[in-house]
Structure formats: structure tokens, C-alpha cells
Chain A
Amino acid sequence: MRLRRLMSCATLALALVGASSAAHAVTEIFWWHSMAGALGDRVNAIADKFNASQTEYKVTPVYKGQYAESMTAAIAAYRAGNAPDILQVFEVGTATMMSAKGAIVPVYKLMADAGEKFDPHAYIGPVAGYYSDTSGRMLSMPFNSSTVVLYINHDLFKKAGLPDKVPATWPEVGEAARKLKASGAACGFTTGWQSWAQLENFSAWHNVPFASKENGLGGLDTRLEFNGPLQVRHISELANWAKEGLFTYAGRTDEPLAKFTSGECGMIMTSSGSYANIKATAKFSFGVGPMPYYPDVKDAPQNAIIGGASLWVMSGKPAQNYKGVAKFLAYLSTTENQIAWHEGTGYVPITTAAYEAVKKSGFYDTHPGFEVATEELLNKPPTANSRGLRLGNMVQIRNVIDEELERVWSGQKTAKEALDSAVSRGNEILAKFEKTSG
């Protein structure tokens, strides 16, 4: 009898404790991202600062692997009813996320419902435009945006007797590569992310279409058009350079960076986000410049299109989570946080206010080359060919382009054959996407 009394008292006490702690429970918000290494540390720092600044919400960043793996995991989790609140999706996944009606909560709606201040015009044009629908409403929150730049190895340039400036045009790049090879460098020019750098951004930079319907921003019935005369000319030129040994192909994504940081290649065209990596690992002085262009093309250089990723909000979570998500997204866009993120990583500042503030602080004078990416994005007001890309199943299309380009570098196909084949294979993929999203 005594024991039973004791037990019931203990149970009541426990229940009371449990109930009171439930009333003050912190709402946990899960953020799945793909920022590895030093970038991941920065992400954790941002979340910690947010958590410390208030007591209602706790943002927990989770590193889920690279962009493609993380997106696959999130899709599987969503289908199992277990999606994260915030998901970082790379720019090529935008069309897939946008057409997933019901699976995502558009950011403009989220911010409006939560009563958070949100002005799409605060974001720089190319960044906002990429992630907005045709009515100009932003569907995802830009986070880390980069674009393609040209890095050069100053030491190898000096050895080859080349002037100390970054080549501005493609003929100049060819000349530099020749002199570099003649002076004994192992490789003259290489490129990372060949589809993004040599076709997608190349088309925007020269104001020629990559795909119809404003590169897909205008409708689901877009079809590929990157086998135009200028792109064929450019890929043929690179193929000739490959034969001459001036251009060394070293991989589809980020692998070629190792050839540059090791001092083998004198020039590399790759993401501006690699700046931090190069600074840390290269044992030589390096320079940064904008993408080269063909001077005989009328509108070149136009403006660059972004790469990187944005943050999407998944649907199906409890209502109170969304207030916290809105608060956190507003926190990320404050000028102070934007400045810290940009200066620490090499990703571009995504708000105009942050960009102006960094300029005023003189940061760009002490860090030459840091501003190149932003200048490329803002070079000229975007045209229908340079506002961005929005193609469904873009990961698969990039695989197709990579495969066809590899056939060009190995001499199996001419540039025209490869690009025509890539366009027709890609169009089948787009047609399938249109069918499944219609």
C-alpha cells in the first residue's frame, strides 16, 4: 500500500515535470546543407549565433553530403513524410523544386504569412531573377551564389615571359597557353565544371541562347539551343587546343582545381567560390579576372549567370516551425551576416546593401580579385539569354553534355556532332520532364 502510494506520487511528479518542460520546448528547425569543411564551420557558426539571439527556435544544420546526394536524400525523406524544414538545393535543381507544387512552401508566401519584412528588390538582379517565377515572386532564398572566373598562376606567367595581367579575350588565352607550353609548363589551360563554364555561362556572356523560352524561365516547353554557330566555334577551338596540348581536360566538376593549385596548369576557369581553397593551398601568387570573350562577337561581354545554391522550405511541417524558418531566413539576409559570409568564403554578396558596404569598407582594395565575380554578374542589365537557366532534370542534361564533350576531347566526335547529339538527347530529357510536371 505504502509502495503504491509512493509510485503514484512519483508518477505524478514526473508528469508535472514533463508537462512543464513541454510548455517551454524549443522548436527545432532542421537545415540540410552541402557545405563541407571550412564552409560547414561557417554554417554552424551562423546557426549558433541565431540560436543564441533568441530562445524560441533552434536551427540545427546537418551536413548531408554533396548537392546531388543531399537532394536525393531530401526527396526520399519527403516521400516518407520526414523532410527537413530547410533544404539547400543547387541551382540546377531549381526547375525540379519549382515544379514540385505542394512539396515546397514558396519563400514569398512564407515571409508574408509570418509577417517578416522581405523585399525581393534588396537582392542583386541576377540572383533574384534566377530564383523567381514569371511574376517576379521569389520562390527560394538565395544563399551562396558564385560565378565563373579565370585564375592565372603569376609565377608561371613570369617564367613564360607573359605580361602580369589576366588574359581578357579567348585569342589572348590561346597565346598565353602557347607561351606557357613553350616555357615548359605541363599544361596551359584547363577548366572546371565544363558544362557550366564553357557552355552555360559562355552563352550568357556572349548573349546567345542556351535554350529557348529565355533559357527555360519562360515555360516548361523549352528546348535546348546550345549547338549554335558560336558555341560550335568555341568547342572546336578548345578541341584544337586539346590536340595541340594547350588545353588539358582533367574532369567534369571540381577535379581540375588540383592541377592548378599544384602549379601544373597556368590558367583555370572555374567557380569564384574556389578562391578560398586556392588561397589556402596554392604556393604561388595567383590572379583573378573575368571570363574571356571573343572580341568579334557584337554584344560580348554581356553578364554572367550564377551557380551555387539557394534555400528551399519544405511543406508538411508543423505551423510553428514556419515562423522560425521565416525568422531565420530574415536573419541570414541582414547586411552584417551577408558581409561576413561573402568576405569569408568568396561567394558573392547577394544583397545590394551588403555589396555597397563591402565596397565602402575598402575590402576590395586589400583583397584584389575578390570583386571580379560580382562585377561579372552586374556587368550589364540581363537580356533574355543571360537572366539565368531553368531546365528540368538539369543534372541529367549536364551528364549528357559532359559525356558528349568528353567525346570531343578524345577526338571521337567533332564539336558540331557532339553538340547536336547533346541537344537532341537533352531535348528528350526535357520532354519527359514536361510530361511528368504537366
Chain B
Amino acid sequence: MKRAVFGSRGLPYALLAPQMAVTLVFFFWPAFQAIYQSTLLQDVFASHVQFVGLENFRDLFADPLYLASIKVTALFSVLVAGFGLAIALILAVFADRVVHGAAIYKTLLIWPYAVAPAVAGILWLFLLSPSLGILAHVLTRMGYDWNYLVHPKQALLLVVVAAVWKQISYNFLFFLAGLQSIPKSLIEAAAIDGAGPLRRFWTIVMPLLSPTSFFLLVVNIVYAFFDTFAIVDAATHGGPGQATDILVFKVYQDGMQAGDLGGSAAQSVILMTIVIVLTVIQFRYIEKKVRY
């Protein structure tokens, strides 16, 4: 690895300073504020503030609804990351083989990424709305009782579909780039040796794609935990009966709507810890399997 050599001693630090300033102000400071506020019990106007230590955390873990929210979030992120990666990979493999009109397919498949998460939520809300939606109409015609305001599993399906739809484009782009960087000679050699397409895929393409897959796994998990807030807020508001009440949405609901700042801060501290732990696990154990 080539090392950059700087003339003066202070220059590297001066160049890093703006980035460090942004990170400190917009990431570390709010994080420390959250940790501080999670130890307080206060009313919204900060006129009565009491220090209560770890009581907010103890209350959370004793609350069966918070534990239910953790379960919903786990299920939700597995579904979103799993389907997001699988569907994007299949599409990338197909798009890689296309010769005619490849540019058109690629452009159409990349478009959803430009849609803001809140808009994606509303879009699918309209498509699947029991009273107005076209897809809802089709489903009712086919005999399904489609009403996601009443059936919890349908509400979860709605937000998973909206979240996956948005993320497929991002994953697709990276998978496509990864596929195109695999030397064709390797695949041809395997074909000559008699390996079928599926065999070629699993023994050659997948291992060579592993850096991309690993990177996308980390990004998708973080996406499922945090960036899906807008979709849930626009489409289901955590309902019905908390079926789509993912952790990040619960933080907003308890903090901003209910005014329970201490509990909400404690939840965001726990959420931050979960994602840090997940990322550390991914880097320590899964990265070992990645071949660069």
C-alpha cells in the first residue's frame, strides 16, 4: 500500500480537521446527548429534571411491548436485507447477460433509488390502499381480504415490499459492477471443463462477488434498521396494534409524539448499541470469509 508523504507536520491534521469537525458535531455530540438524556426523567419543557440512572433502561426491558418491537425489527431486517440482496442479485445476473437494450434495463432498474423513502411509502400505500388501490382491487377480486389496517401481517408485508423495492436498485448497481469485474476467461474456462451454469455461479461467481456481497450486507442491515423510518411513518404509523413498530419508529413515537424524552433516549442508545454490535460481528467473522 502506497503511503502518502506530507511535507509539513501540520498539513495532514489540517486536511482532516473539517471532516473531524463534522463527525464530532453531527455524530458524537448527539450520541453523547442521547446517552446523557437517557439517564434523566424530565417533562417536555425541562422544568422538572431528575437524574434516575439506569431506571429508563430497566423500564424498557421490563416492557413486553419493547421486547415485541425488538422481535419485529429483527424479522423486518432479515426480510428486507434477505429479499433485497437476493432479488437484486438475480436481476444483476440477468442484466449482465443481456446484449440488446442493456442500457434501458439498467436505467429502469436504477430509478427507484432516486425516490425518497417517504414517497416510496406513500406510493405503495396508494397502490395497496383498501379503498383506492389498484393492487388492492386485484387482490380483493382474487378473493383475499386485503385490509392492512386490520391485518397485522399484511401491514408488515406492505412496509417490507416498499423498503425492498427502494433498496433493490442500490444493491443491483453494486452487484452488476461486481459481476462485470469478474474476468470472462474464468467463466469460459469452467464452461469448457463441463460445469453447468448453476455450478459456475456457486463456485466461481459467488466467491469472487463476496467483497461486494459483504459490503452490501452491512449497508442493507443499517438501511433496514434506520432508513426505513420514513416508510413506516408514511404508510402504517407502526400499526395496526404495533405490527410494524420497528425500533427506530418507536424511538420517534415515544420521544416526539409522547414526550417521553428519557425513555426515547434510552431506546436510541440501545438501538445504536445493537447496530454497532452487528457491524462488529460482521467485520470480525464474516469478513474472514471474504476473498479479496
Chain A 404-430 against B: per-residue CB contact (8 Å), 1 yes, 0 no? 101101101000000000000100010
Cβ-closest 5 pairs across A and B = A396-B258, A406-B240, A407-B241, A103-B45, A406-B241
Q: Are A250 and B131 in contact (CB under 8 A)?
A: yes
Contacts of A438 in B (CB 8 A): 48
Bound-state CA distance A407–B237 (Å) is 15
Q: Which residue of B lies closest to A83 (CB)?
A: B45
Q: Which residue of B lies closest to A412 (CB)?
A: B241
- Which positions in A face B, CB cutoff 8 Å? 68, 72, 75, 78-79, 96, 99-103, 242, 249-252, 258-259, 262, 264, 393, 395-396, 399, 402-404, 406-407, 409-410, 412, 425, 429, 432-433, 435-438
What is the distance, in angstroms, from A380's C-beta to the closest C-beta of chain B?
Answer: 34
Q: Is B47 located at the chain interface by the 8 A CB criterion?
A: yes
What is the distance, in angstroms, from B133's C-beta to the closest C-beta of chain A?
Answer: 13
Select which of A251, A409, A437 is within 8 A of B43 by beta carbon.
A437
Q: Are A393 and B259 in contact (CB under 8 A)?
A: yes
Bound-state CA distance A99–B42 (Å) is 12
In this complex, the member of A103, A403, A433 whose beta carbon has the largest number of chain B beta carbons within 10 angstroms is A403
Contact A436/B42 with A103-B47, A406-B150 known, Cβ cut-off 8 Å? yes
What is the distance, in angstroms, from A398's C-beta to the closest C-beta of chain B?
Answer: 9
Select which of B130, B151, B253 is within 8 A of A399 by beta carbon.
B253
- Which range holds the interface residue count of chain B? 20 to 34
Contact A393/B258 with A99-B43, A100-B47, A436-B48 known, Cβ cut-off 8 Å? yes
Contacts of B67 in A (CB 8 A): none
Q: Are B44 and A96 in contact (CB under 8 A)?
A: yes
Chain B 214-254 against A: per-residue CB contact (8 Å), 1 yes, 0 no? 00000000000000000000000101111000000000011
Contacts of B115 in A (CB 8 A): none
Q: Are A258 and B131 in contact (CB under 8 A)?
A: yes
Contact A252/B237 with A68-B257, A395-B257, A399-B253 known, Cβ cut-off 8 Å? yes
Q: Is B96 located at the chain interface by the 8 A CB criterion?
A: no
Chain B residues numbered 98-145 whose CB sits less than 8 Å from any CB in chain A: 130-132
What is the distance, in angstroms, from B228's C-beta to the closest C-beta of chain A?
Answer: 20
Contacts of A103 in B (CB 8 A): 45, 47
Q: Can you offer 30 A-B residue contacts whose CB atoms are under 8 A?
A: A75-B45, A78-B45, A79-B45, A79-B46, A96-B43, A100-B43, A100-B47, A102-B47, A249-B149, A249-B150, A252-B239, A258-B131, A258-B132, A262-B131, A393-B260, A402-B239, A403-B240, A403-B241, A403-B242, A406-B149, A406-B241, A407-B240, A409-B150, A410-B150, A410-B151, A412-B152, A429-B258, A436-B48, A437-B43, A437-B48
What is the distance, in angstroms, from B37's C-beta to the closest C-beta of chain A?
Answer: 12
Contacts of A249 in B (CB 8 A): 149-150
Q: Which residue of B lies closest to A101 (CB)?
A: B47
Q: Are B239 and A396 in contact (CB under 8 A)?
A: no
Q: Are A100 and B45 in contact (CB under 8 A)?
A: yes
Chain B's interface: helix, strand, loop or mixed, by majority?
loop
Chain B residues numbered 125-180 whose CB sits less than 8 Å from any CB in chain A: 130-132, 149-152
Contacts of B130 in A (CB 8 A): 250
Contacts of B254 in A (CB 8 A): 396
Bound-state CA distance A437–B152 (Å) is 36
Q: Which residue of B lies closest to A433 (CB)?
A: B43
Bound-state CA distance A100–B47 (Å) is 7
Q: Is B41 located at the chain interface by the 8 A CB criterion?
A: yes
Contacts of A410 in B (CB 8 A): 150-152, 240-241
Q: Are B256 and A72 in contact (CB under 8 A)?
A: yes
Q: Which residue of B lies closest to A425 (CB)?
A: B65
Q: Are A436 and B43 in contact (CB under 8 A)?
A: yes
Bound-state CA distance A419–B166 (Å) is 38
Q: Which residue of A lies closest to B150 (CB)?
A: A410
Bound-state CA distance A242–B48 (Å) is 45
Contacts of B260 in A (CB 8 A): 393, 396, 432
Contact A399/B45 with A249-B149, A264-B131 known, Cβ cut-off 8 Å? no
Contacts of A259 in B (CB 8 A): 131
Contact A404/B241 with A250-B131, A393-B260, A410-B150 known, Cβ cut-off 8 Å? yes
Contacts of A433 in B (CB 8 A): 43
Q: Which residue of A lies closest to B131 (CB)?
A: A259
Bound-state CA distance A412–B45 (Å) is 38
Q: Which residue of B lies closest to A253 (CB)?
A: B237
Q: Which residue of B lies closest to A397 (CB)?
A: B258
What is the distance, in angstroms, from B182's C-beta to the closest C-beta of chain A?
Answer: 49
Bound-state CA distance A399–B259 (Å) is 12
Contacts of B42 in A (CB 8 A): 436
Q: Which residue of B lies closest to A75 (CB)?
A: B44
Q: Which residue of A lies closest to B253 (CB)?
A: A399
Q: Are A435 and B41 in contact (CB under 8 A)?
A: yes
What is the distance, in angstroms, from A419's C-beta to the closest C-beta of chain B?
Answer: 14
What is the distance, in angstroms, from A408's C-beta to the closest C-beta of chain B?
Answer: 9
Bound-state CA distance A404–B47 (Å) is 32
In this complex, the member of B45, B131, B132, B253 whose beta carbon has the largest number of chain A beta carbons within 10 angstroms is B45
Contacts of A262 in B (CB 8 A): 131
Bound-state CA distance A410–B152 (Å) is 8
Contacts of A102 in B (CB 8 A): 45, 47
Contacts of A429 in B (CB 8 A): 258
Chain B residues numbered 11-55 whose CB sits less than 8 Å from any CB in chain A: 41-48, 50
What is the distance, in angstroms, from A437's C-beta to the closest C-beta of chain B?
Answer: 6
Contacts of A251 in B (CB 8 A): 149
Q: Which residue of A lies closest to B63 (CB)?
A: A428
Contact A436/B239 with A79-B46, A393-B259, A399-B257 known, Cβ cut-off 8 Å? no
What is the distance, in angstroms, from B241's C-beta to the closest C-beta of chain A?
Answer: 4
Besides the known contacts A396-B259, A407-B240, 14 further A-B residue pairs in the complex with CB atoms under 8 A apart: A75-B45, A75-B259, A100-B43, A100-B45, A102-B47, A250-B149, A393-B260, A395-B258, A395-B259, A403-B240, A409-B240, A410-B241, A436-B42, A436-B50
